[in-house]
Chain A
Amino acid sequence: MKRDVLYRVVLIAGLLVVSLVALAPSVPGVGGALPQWWGGLLGNRGIRLGLDLQGGSHLLFTVDLDKAVEIHLDRKIGEIRRELRDAKVGAIGVERDGLALQLTLPNPERRGEVIEILGDRFPSLVVESGALGSGPTIRMTLDPREIQQLHEYALDQSLETIRNRIDEFGVAEPSIQRQGRQEILVQLPGIQEPERAKALIGRTAVLEFRFLADTSGGYGPDNPAPGTEVMSGVEVDGTTGQTRRIRHLVESEVRMTGDTIADARMQLFDQLEGPTVQLTLNGDGARRFDELTGANVGRRLAIILDGTVYSAPVIQERIPGGRAQITGGFDIKEARDLAIVLRAGALPAPVTLIEERTVGPALGRDSIQQGLLSFLVGGSAVAVFVLIYYRMAGVLAVSALALNIIYLLAALSGFGATLTLPGLAGIVLTLGMASDANVLIIERIREELRLGKTPRAAIETGYDRAWAAIFDSNLTTFLSGVILFQFGSGPVKGFAVTLCVGIVTSLFTAVFATRTVYEYRLAGRRLDHISV
């Protein structure tokens, strides 16, 4: 009996020491004074504050996966045309129709032959109506496994690109992760310019080089020739520096894209044109750019970013060395951000912001203060009440609550949990639950004493009888915490975590620890009176 109690005391005290070691780095004023090795003792990361307490942005983007498939199919069109041209099966029209490719044959007799070539060269494409169909059109879709792979690639690549952009932008401890089927969650603590970050992340940044279409022969933006399209563009006035929107007629064929960019830098070049973005292409890109410009001297090369023509300079001469520049009347911030996104690479598919929660740093500070204040006021009032109402047993209950707070915070810091505002509320509620357990026990002991039992018997039956109710009531609350965790996002999850962890620690402190104290006092002694 005595030995059993000793083990219990050692366990409680040991946990207290471990908890204090774990918590010390998170205590303001103490954390900084600790030696370096302290934090490594338990390998815990300390309690982090949620975005709602320290300020920051929670951004949820959805990746347009259909668009990724469309882009892939568009690339296939050129390859298919080339293959069929080489196979000399006649002039075949290839177009994309939604998520399918449609081929139009001039002579349907060669249908089987065309399907054979396609099946040979493009195993990822599936003929929709089967090889046995007839007629002048063939519809093809991508193999579902290929689509799955494209989706995965688009998500991974988007994540990587967004991470690169944020790293370049400079945010301390960002968190970028996939969520659900096609979403990417970006969390930026303490960010000062959320609007700028949003624009930076959300930009697709697809850079294309195409030629302006020939506008002789009556063609123009109002009357586009086949194989050309109308795009809007910006034009900088040479004398005032003002920008205005204009329309361009450009060829549909993309000559080069931004995937060969090795570096992009903002440069202040011309006072009037404002800052520009200087592009340096990699070896392959430089060679292709050299060929492209060499073969097309005199034509206007449009530099297109996300569907807008930024400039369309006349190629004066062959351009070796792989250097190009983008102008477009940017201000310094715009040019710097553009350089960042071009350097970090294009997104494989457009992303759309579908949820944003931004908390300013001032509100975060206020929330912490208000949370602490209400915690102190509520907590100390309850403590005073319990002390008066239950006397010595009350002292024990309040000590158990204090122990509970220490254990709970240490456990949270051990998990590297994030403390949110609802999380603080969860702690407050846990303390309510813990004090309920003590109230149940003490009330039960009182009842047993009223029945005339000795203090020892009353304590034993009190704890035993109260346990069933305490266990059931805590388990139900634990269950609602689990449901809350499943359902919730961000702050609500924080609430669920503190609630569930708190239930475990409060069962330990309110039942196990307080009982140990009684056992200690009862061990080998006769107790005539207890103060409850």
Chain B
Amino acid sequence: MAQSSTSGSGAAQPPLRFFEIIPDGTTIDFVGLRRYSLGISGLLILAALALWVIRGGPNYGVDFVGGTMLHLRFQPEVGTPQIRSLLADAGYRDVQLQDLGGAENEFLLRLPTAPGNENVAKEVTEALQGSLGPDAFEIRRSEMVGPQVGKDLRRKAILAVVASTIMMGLYLTVRFQLRFGIGAAVALAHDVAITLGGLLLFNYEFDLPVVAALLTVIGFSVNDTVIVSDRIRENLRKMRRQSLESVANASINETLSRTVITTGTAIFVILALFILGGSVIHGFAFTLLIGFVVGTYSSIFVATPIVLMFRDTERR
């Protein structure tokens, strides 16, 4: 961060002094970097796909596959091996046990719900209380989702993500041009894919709040794309003699300061949520964190290059 001074072109004015992170007149050849940036994006998407295949799909929470989830806080002396062996002794072998970490001794237990038995949660807590004593843990949260509900929610989630991607593309087509719409839609699909890759890599559970976060990422990313596209549109009118590349480059550079500051402050707020927001909101905040970074990147390095691919067909 440097305090730089820039003098305006108007000679009558006193020299203007702004506090700037991105100095005025910054000209980075973003468009020229597209061969590398598209390559990196392609690699990241491939990596996400590979992770998807290796892991056998995302780590779905009970929201999407059905089952029972228990969030328990144990007395400090109870540890993972003890809980695991107690559950095994009680006959619950297919329990997923996850230590939530943090200062408190909290765990998530996930169990498949056997058909016709909706009361697994009660049985498990009674079994644990039987061996550990009635006050060994506190039930912080419990969720049970039936298989049909899970299937419904999964269908709705996929629909919502796909529908909003397409809708954003349509919106940009209507407000700008088809090439901007296509660029935005591809960039959004790219963001969703890479964010999913991040969730897979760090083994985050894929549940309803994560989908809500994904939809927010879509909204935020298209936001950035709109800002850049808006400036390209404006500059296309002003800079008729220039090539589309240099118009795009100028537009990205002119809005760069805004991009950096907005994304920076947004990410700062999300970091606060991620670190201080507690375990319930962790996956949500993580998705936003990855998604906002990728979304900002894609507006510059994915959406704009795609707009440039259509240069000959639509150049006015």
Question: Residue on B with the closest CB to A444?
Answer: B258
In whole angstroms, what is the CA distance A52 to B208 when docked? 14
CB within 8 Å of A: which B242-283 residues: 254-255, 257-258, 261-262, 265-266, 268-273, 275-278, 280-281
User: With A358-B141, A382-B268, A484-B212 given, is the CB distance from A367 to B171 under 8 Å?
Assistant: no
Q: Is A224 at the interface (CB under 8 A from chain B)? A: no
Asked whether B276 lies within 8 Å of A373 as measured between CB atoms, the reply is yes
> Which residues from chain B contact A52 at a C-beta distance below 8 Å?
280
Binds B, one of A250-258, A296-304, A349-357, A516-524: A349-357
Q: Which of A87-95, A167-175, A238-246, A448-456 contacts B (4 or more CB under 8 A)?
A: A448-456
Minimum CB–CB distance for B14 against chain A, Å: 8
Q: Determine if B168 and A479 form an interchain contact, defined as CB atoms under 8 angstroms apart.
A: yes
Chain B residues within an 8 Å CB radius of A374: 272-273, 275-277
Contact A491 B230 (CB under 8 A): no
Q: B19–A388 contact, CB under 8 A?
A: yes
Minimum CB–CB distance for B185 against chain A, Å? 12
Interface string of B125-159 (1 = CB under 8 A from A): 00000000000001111111110110001001101
Instruction: Report if A486-B223 is in contact (Cβ < 8 Å); known contacts: A356-B144, A439-B258.
Output: no
| CB-based contact B223/A477 at 8 Å | yes
Give the chain A neighbours of B11 by CB distance below 8 A: 452
Determine if B227 and A355 form an interchain contact, defined as CB atoms under 8 angstroms apart.
no
User: Which residues does chain A contribute within 8 Å of B141, judged by CB atoms?
Assistant: 357-360, 363
Cα distance A172–B185 in the bound complex, in angstroms: 47
A390 to chain B: which residues have CB within 8 Å? 19
CB distance from A442 to the nearest CB of B (A): 9
B306 near A: Cβ within 8 Å? Answer: no
Task: Decide yes or no whether A362 CB sits under 8 A from chain B.
Answer: yes
Q: Which of B19, B216, B230 touches A469 (beta carbons < 8 Å)?
A: B230
A391 and B19 in contact (CB under 8 A), knowing A449-B8, A451-B8, A476-B219?
yes
CB within 8 Å for A452 and B8 given contacts A381-B272, A428-B273, A435-B262: yes
Given A440-B227, A481-B219, verify A354-B168 contact (CB < 8 Å). Answer: no
Contact between chains at B160 and A486 (CB < 8 Å): yes
Chain A residues with CB under 8 Å of B167's CB are 479, 483
B144 touches A353 (CB 8 A): yes
Separation of A489 and B220 alpha carbons in the complex (Å): 22
Residues 15-29 of B, flagged 1 when their CB comes within 8 A of A and 0 if not, give 010110100100000
Interface members, chain A 479-511 (any B CB < 8 Å): 479-481, 483-484, 486-489, 491-492, 495-496, 499
The answer to whether A270 has its CB under 8 Å from any CB of chain B is no
B110 within 8 A of A: no
CB-CB < 8 A to B215: which residues of A?
480, 483-484, 487
Tell me the nearest residue of chain B to A60, going by C-beta.
Answer: B149
Residues of A within 8 A of B254 (CB): 447
Collect the chain B residues with CB atoms within 8 Å of residue A429's CB. 216, 266, 269
CB of B105 within 8 Å of the partner chain? no
Between A60, A453, A484, A486, the greatest number of chain B beta carbons within 10 A of the residue's beta carbon is seen for A484
Q: B71 near A: Cβ within 8 Å? A: yes
A contact residues around B171 at 8 Å (CB): 475-476, 479
Which A188-224 residues sit within 8 Å CB-CB of chain B? 194-195
**CB neighbours of B19 from chain A (8 A):** 388-391
A519 to chain B, nearest CB (A): 22
The answer to whether A421 and B139 touch (CB under 8 A), given A436-B262, A476-B168, A476-B226, is no
| Minimum distance in angstroms from A328 CB to a CB of chain B | 20
Residue of A nearest to B140 (CB): A363
Cβ contacts under 8 Å, A492 to chain B: 208-209, 211-212
A480–B168 contact, CB under 8 A?
yes
Task: For the complex formed, measure the closest distance between the CB of B278 and the CB atoms of chain A, giving whole angstroms.
Answer: 4
Per-residue B-contact encoding for A433-475, CB less than 8 Å = 1, 0 else: 1011001100100110111110000000000010011001101
Q: In the assembled complex, which residues on chain A have CB atoms less than 8 Å from the CB atom of B148? A: 354
A101 vs chain B, min Cβ distance (A): 28
Measured between alpha carbons, how far is A194 from B71 in the docked complex, in Å? 15
CA distance A209 to B222 in the complex (A): 66
A492: nearest residue on chain B (CB-CB)? B212
Please name the residue on chain B nearest to A380 by beta carbon. Answer: B272
* Chain A residues in 8 Å Cβ range of B224: 473
Question: What B residues does A422 contact at CB under 8 A?
Answer: 209, 212, 281, 284
B163 CB-CB contact with A under 8 Å: yes
Q: Does the CB pair A370–B278 fall under 8 Å? A: yes
Query: Does A431 belong to the interface (CB within 8 Å)?
Result: yes
Residues A476 and B272 in contact, CB atoms below 8 Å apart: no
A477 to B273, CA, bound (A): 20
Q: Tell me whether B9 is interfacial, beta carbon within 8 Å.
A: yes
The verdict on B194 contacting chain A, using a C-beta distance below 8 Å, is: no
Smallest Cβ distance from B15 to chain A, in angstroms?
A: 11
Q: Which of B142, B157, B285 contacts A358 (CB 8 A)?
A: B142
Beyond A428-B269, A487-B160, A491-B209, whether A451 also contacts B284 by CB under 8 A is no
Specify the chain B residue showing the minimal Cβ separation from A394: B19
* B54 surroundings in chain A (CB, below 8 A): none
For B139, the chain A residues whose CB sits under 8 A away are: 358, 360
Interchain Cβ contacts under 8 Å between A and B, 18 examples: A354-B146, A355-B144, A356-B143, A362-B138, A367-B281, A371-B278, A374-B277, A452-B8, A468-B230, A472-B175, A475-B171, A479-B171, A483-B163, A483-B167, A484-B212, A484-B215, A488-B208, A489-B153
7 other A-B residue contacts (CB within 8 Å) besides A373-B276, A439-B261, A449-B16: A358-B141, A360-B139, A367-B280, A390-B19, A472-B226, A473-B226, A489-B153
Binding site for B on A (CB under 8 A): 52, 60, 62, 194-195, 352-360, 362-363, 366-367, 370-371, 373-375, 377-379, 381-382, 385-386, 388-391, 421-422, 425, 428-429, 431-433, 435-436, 439-440, 443, 446-447, 449-453, 465, 468-469, 472-473, 475-477, 479-481, 483-484, 486-489, 491-492, 495-496, 499, 529, 532
Spell out B's residues near A (CB within 8 Å).
Answer: 6, 8-14, 16, 18-19, 21, 24, 71, 118, 122, 138-146, 148-149, 153, 156-157, 159-160, 163-164, 167-168, 171, 175, 208-209, 211-212, 215-216, 218-220, 222-224, 226-227, 230-231, 234, 254-255, 257-258, 261-262, 265-266, 268-273, 275-278, 280-281, 284-285
Q: Which 10 A-B pairs have the closest CB atoms?
A: A452-B10, A378-B272, A480-B219, A354-B146, A378-B269, A370-B278, A487-B160, A374-B276, A477-B219, A363-B140
